[in-house]
Amino acid sequence: MQNTSEDRDARAQHAIKHFLEHVGFDIIEQDWSNGSNHFDFIAYDDCCLVFVDSVVYHSKELCFPMMSLDREEHEHAALVYLSTHDNVGSGPIRFDCVELIAMNETRAFIRFRKNVLGSGD
């Protein structure tokens, strides 16, 4: 039976969720959206609320393309989330990115980037 693109993407998202939990994230939302605002995962990493984007590549090239995130878009989406969820704390927030290359049906490579919109200060 042939795997569909949706099946591969679902398995990849499951692997990313498992990875985040393995490194200690407490996931509170998955695939959150509100209008055009979207985050693949929203989680706590210790006391920090983390908005996580994930990208899955199914490529024979086995390299990560250059990727950049739009600061205004992500900050706006985070503000929408925070304005509609009174139950989240008032501590620091961070934006992370998890990229996964599906090398074949049973193996993948994950690149995890913390604080991708940080200023480096």
CATH number at residue 84: 3.40.1350.10
Hey, what are 72's tokens?
């205004």
Q: What single letter denotes the amino acid at residue 93?
A: I
Between these two residues, 2 and 114, which has the higher pLDDT value? 114
Q: What is the pLDDT of the chain when averaged over all its residues? A: 87
- Mean pLDDT of the region 58-78: 79
How far is residue 111's CA from residue 16's CA, in Å, rounded to a whole number? 10
pLDDT band at 121 (very low <50, low <70, confident <90, very high): very low
Q: Which residue segment(s) compose the domain that 27 sits in?
A: 5-113
- pLDDT for residue 62 is more than 90: no
**39 in any annotated domain:** yes
**118 in any annotated domain:** no
Phi/psi at 109 (nearest 5 deg)?
-120, 130
The segment with the largest mean pLDDT, out of 18-32, 68-82, 91-105, is: 18-32
How far is residue 63's CA from residue 86's CA, in Å, rounded to a whole number? 40
How far is residue 120's CA from residue 89's CA, in Å, rounded to a whole number? 24
Tell me the β-bridge partners of 27: 43
- Mean pLDDT of the region 24-32: 96
- pLDDT for residue 105 is more than 70: yes
Total structural domains within the chain: 1
**31 in any annotated domain:** yes
**119 in any annotated domain:** no
Q: Which residue has the tokens 């925070």?
A: 82
**9 in any annotated domain:** yes
